[in-house]
A and B are shown apart, each in its own frame.
Chain A
Amino acid sequence: MTTTQRTLTPEMVAKIEALAPRYPNRRALTLPALHIVNDALRYVPLEAVVEVAELLGLAPAEVQDTLSFYQFFPQDKPSGETRAWVCRSVSCALRGGEEVLEQICHAAGIAPYGTTADGSLTVEPAECLGACDFAPCMLAGKTLHKNLTKESAEAFVREARARATKRS
């Protein structure tokens, strides 16, 4: 493999290596490394899995085994610029969480787990986000959206799409 073709940038490798002294073996770096890749690329393609494995001294299958367990890291294509998790667990569902999920998907014109064509937004159902005091809620990137209504849900979709349009 030539260095120019690599998926892991030197910055990603440096971030992963910086964590190495925290653990007695390199396998424990698997999840932190996958997060570092996913934070940068919004997905973890198979090439990255191979490179992470190489870096950690593991078989690619070992890394893929761990990765696939969590159903968290997309592999085929990047998530939207904003990855929105709409809670559907009991406390949110009791206060309209399932309806909010539908409204957001409808406003974005996608099905749950889908990404808008402009790549601005991915919407996924989530299990309990631990913010039941603000039900129904949604985590979008690092922002917790509290006490969602149809109006605030639709406004969220508009803003997420506008951000992407502005950049393009």
Chain B
Amino acid sequence: MANFQPVLLEAVGVPGGHTLKSYRERGGYAPLERMLKEKQPAEVTELVKASGLRGRGGAGFPTGLKWTFLPKDHPGPIYLCINADESEPGTFNNRILMEDDPHQVIEGIILSAYATRATTAYLYLRYEYPQCWDRLQSAIDEAYAAGLLGKDIQGSGFSLDLYLHRGAAAYICGEETGLIESLEGKRAWPRIKPPFPAIEGLFRKPTVVNNIETMACVAQIARRGVDWFRSIGVPADPNNPRDPGSYGPKLYCLSGHVERPGCYEAPLGITARQLIDGHGGGVWKGRKAKAVIPGGISMGLLTEAELDTPLDFAGPGKVGCLGLGTAAVVVIDETVSIVDFLHNSCRFFAHESCGQCTPCREGTAWSLRMLERIRAGKGRLKDLELLAEIGNTMGMMPGSTICGLADGAAWPIKNAIKKFRGEFEEYIKRTNPSGWMVTDPVPALPIVGAH
């Protein structure tokens, strides 16, 4: 690991690193030109499959395998959607890739479109990233002018159009079928699956939805090869035939109470502690961490004692977190009340629940109401049971919702109450000395600031 060189972030700090000229100087687009000449689309898919690349957007599904779900010999069109609706609290790695090295992303998009035989790609960009929009649009214009996008790319006979599509500040558009609905001009309500997008996606045609960092990884795999990619990260567990391993470099976003917040590239499997102490300069102000979010707020919480957990696809799950998610690590120091943290989390999900599935719409709203009540000094111990019940019953895992937003809302609740129960109980007893033991129904307080 001492020899680890960042590649996804190689343009960061390079003057003019976002331009086509700079990208070419670093070896960019040559792999694409070679692949278009030498390899069939299926061979590119095989390459990505062999690399073990798993999607970087949060779910970690093997990218090459996802591509093989497209129907064979489909008359088309096939669509490629690039998910740049990065909205998971704590996450900004895609913003940095798009701002500092848009051509790396675009090369990955062209390769992925070639592999999947997509002839139109839409890059769905969140509204909050105006600088990314400008950088991407200039890079797309450069790529068209250089014959890297458009008709008959580099004389290969392969054509691709790439369009930017602007979101409107809704977290749910990062869910792949919510994104598709939004692109189609509808409310971004996730679809019931199956059919999966590979069979029936955008405009009811076969569709692949991939994340920005995944696209950058595809470009680097084409440039540096499968062996390079597989030499980094955590190999598949030989005792678990269902573990696809965690290969390759990963962008970790470090924020919250650290000395040096930032986006750091490291091999998959770095521990939270190595990241915080090694890259982040430690917890700020010489304090200790109370809790650490391992991969975006949806993933739940690590305690201080769990900070040696490796942040690969399998690691956080072993200590009760939802998963690696977006690998956004947020440090919460010992001075923060866990009640305040959970209130912030519940407010986020109550705001962002799309309202389609009742358990999520009501579960997120009522968990926020309960946290408001606890913070107002009217909490009861029974509220912790109710919160846990909400956490255990809303989501795809208990089978009550269409998409995973509710699982992401549930995990911080479940982890916080399980791992920090003592602090909740102490807070409730201290702030509501005369009513903490009441178990009768109580009226909700008027809700403040959810919307």
Question: B451 near A90 (CB under 8 angstroms)?
Answer: no
Point out the residues of chain A lying under 8 angstroms from B95, CB to CB: 130-131
Q: Indicate if the CB atoms of A91 and B203 lie closer than 8 Å.
A: no
Contact of A132 with B90 at beta-carbon distance under 8 Å, contacts A22-B163, A25-B203, A90-B348 already known = yes
Is B186 engaged at the interface, CB distance under 8 Å to the other chain? yes
**Do A22 and B187 touch (CB < 8 A)?**
no
Contacts of A93 in B (CB 8 A): 344
Q: Is the CB of B262 within 8 A of A130?
A: no
Name the interface residues of B235-260: CB closer than 8 Å to any CB of A. 253-257
A residues in contact with B167, CB < 8 Å: 31
Cβ of A132 and Cβ of B253 under 8 Å apart? Answer: yes
Q: In whole angstroms, how far apart are the Cα atoms of A34 and B254 in the complex?
A: 35
The answer for the CA separation of A25 and B204 in the assembled complex, in Å, is: 12
Q: Out of B128, B255, B336, which one reaches A126, CB within 8 Å?
A: B128
Question: Would B86 and A127 count as touching, CB distance under 8 A?
Answer: no
CB distance from A97 to the nearest CB of B (A): 10
B361 an interface residue at 8 Å Cβ cutoff? no
A62 to B165, CA, bound (A): 19
A33 CB to nearest chain B CB (Å): 9
How would residues 121 to 143 of chain B score, 1 for a CB under 8 Å from any chain A CB and 0 otherwise?
A: 00000111111000000000000
Q: Mark B175-191, 1 if CB is under 8 A from A, else 0.
A: 00000001111111000
Is B261 in contact with chain A by the CB < 8 A criterion?
yes
A38 to B, closest residue via Cβ? B168
Q: Is A73 an interface residue (CB 8 A)?
A: yes
A161 interface residue per 8 A CB criterion:
no
- On chain A, the residues within 8 Å of B127 by CB distance are 72
Contact B185 A91 (CB under 8 A): no
The interface bits of chain A over 100-131 (1 if a CB of B lies within 8 angstroms of the residue's CB, else 0) are 00000000000010000000000001111111
Does A59 lie at the interface of the complex (its beta carbon under 8 Å from any beta carbon of B)? no
A131 CB to closest chain B CB, in angstroms? 6
The residue in chain B whose Cβ has the minimal distance to the Cβ of A71 is B451
A31 & B90 in contact (Cβ 8 Å cutoff): no
The interface on chain B, measured as residues whose beta carbon lies within 8 A of the other chain's beta carbons, has a size of: 58
Q: Which residue of B lies closest to A113 (CB)?
A: B451
In the bound complex, do residue A132 and residue B92 qualify as a contact, i.e. CB atoms below 8 Å apart?
yes
Residues on the A chain within 8 Å of B185, using CB = 27-31, 56, 66
Interface string of B345-361 (1 = CB under 8 A from A): 10110011010000000
| A94 at interface by CB-CB < 8 Å | yes
Q: Is A24 engaged at the interface, CB distance under 8 Å to the other chain?
A: yes
Q: Closest CB-CB distance, B396 to chain A, in whole Å?
A: 21
B261 to A, closest residue via Cβ: A133
A149 at the interface (CB under 8 A from B): no
A94 pairs with B257, CB closer than 8 A: yes
Closest to B171 in A: A127
Given A30-B185, A31-B168, A32-B166, A131 and B92 touching (CB < 8 A)?
yes
Q: Mark A4-46, 1 if CB is under 8 A from B, else 0.
A: 0000000000000000001011011111101100000000000
Q: Given that A129-B128, A132-B90 are known contacts, is A94 also in contact with B163, CB under 8 Å in the complex?
A: no
**In B82-129, which residues have CB < 8 Å from any A CB?**
86-92, 94-95, 126-129
Q: Judging by beta carbons under 8 Å apart, are B263 and A142 in contact?
A: no
Closest to B77 in A: A24
CB distance from B300 to the nearest CB of A (A): 12
Is the beta-carbon distance between B168 and A91 smaller than 8 angstroms? no
Nearest Cβ distance between residue A141 and chain B, in whole angstroms?
8
Interface range for A: 35 or more
- A-chain residues with CB within 8 Å of residue B163 when the two chains form the complex: 22
Q: How far is the CB of B367 from chain A (nearest CB, A)?
A: 16
- Shortest Cβ gap from A72 to chain B (Å): 4
Task: With both chains docked as a complex, state the minimum distance between the C-beta of B213 and any C-beta of chain A, in angstroms.
Answer: 13
Residues of the B chain whose Cβ atoms lie less than 8 Å from the Cβ of A141: 130
Is the C-beta of B445 less than 8 angstroms from some C-beta in chain A? Answer: no
Among B127, B128, B166, chain A packs the most CB atoms within 10 A around the CB of: B128
A73 touches B261 (CB 8 A): no
Closest approach, in angstroms, between the C-beta of A107 and any C-beta of chain B? 19
- In angstroms, Cα B256 to Cα A52, docked, is 43
Complex interface: chain A residues within 8 A of B166 (CB): 31-32, 35
Residue numbers in A under 8 Å from B257 (CB-CB): 94-95
Contact between A91 and B128 (Cβ–Cβ < 8 Å)?
no
Chain B residues near A73 (CB-CB < 8 A): 168
By a CB distance below 8 angstroms, the chain B residues around A72 are: 127, 168-170
Q: Which of A22, A28, A91, A95 has the most CB of B within 10 A?
A: A91
The answer to whether A128 and B170 touch across the interface, beta carbons within 8 angstroms, is no
* Nearest A residue (CB) for B336: A94
CB-based contact B90/A127 at 8 Å: no
Given contacts A128-B87, A142-B130, contact A133 B345 (CB under 8 A): no
Contact in complex: A130, B128 (CB < 8 Å): yes
8 A Cβ contacts from B329-374 to A: 330, 332-333, 336, 341, 344-345, 347-348, 351-352, 354
Partner of B184, one of A28, A70, A89, A125: A28
New contact pairs (16) apart from A27-B184, A94-B336, CB-CB < 8 Å: A28-B185, A56-B185, A69-B170, A70-B188, A72-B127, A73-B168, A90-B344, A90-B345, A91-B89, A94-B330, A112-B449, A126-B169, A130-B95, A132-B89, A133-B255, A139-B130
Question: Which 5 pairs show the lowest CB-CB distances between chains A and B?
Answer: A30-B185, A132-B255, A69-B187, A70-B168, A142-B130
Give B residues with C-beta under 8 Å from A: 77, 86-92, 94-95, 126-131, 161, 163, 165-171, 182-188, 203, 253-257, 261-263, 293, 297, 328, 330, 332-333, 336, 341, 344-345, 347-348, 351-352, 354, 449, 451
> Can you name 5 A-B pairs with beta carbons within 8 Å?
A65-B186, A71-B170, A85-B128, A89-B297, A95-B256
